[in-house]
Amino acid sequence: MAEWFDMGKHTWFVWGSYGVFAFFIVAELLLLERRRRTILQRLSRTSRMNSGVNDET
């Protein structure tokens, strides 16, 4: 298995490139999903508050 990842004297350059690339892609996807959840939670909260106000009136 280890030999698959062995790039000889270029191991750092190849995996340093692919590793950072993968990190950024994963980070972008996670941050985007987190942003989406935050917005949805805020909207649901606002909606509940508004319906509460409407119920009282």
**Which positions touch another protein (CB under 8 A)?**
4, 7-14, 16-18, 20-21, 24-25, 28-29, 32, 35-36, 39-40, 42-44, 46-47, 50-51
Q: 14: which residues sit within 8 A by CB, 6+ positions away? A: 7
For residues 14 and 7, is the Cβ–Cβ distance under 8 A? yes
Residue among 9 and 57 whose Cβ is closer to another protein:
9
> Which residue, 51 or 57, has its beta carbon nearer to another protein?
51
**The pair of three-digit structure tokens given for residue 44, joined into one six-digit string:** 């649901």
**Dist. CA 6–CA 21, nearest whole Å:** 18
Q: How far is the CB of 16 from another protein (least distance, A)?
A: 5
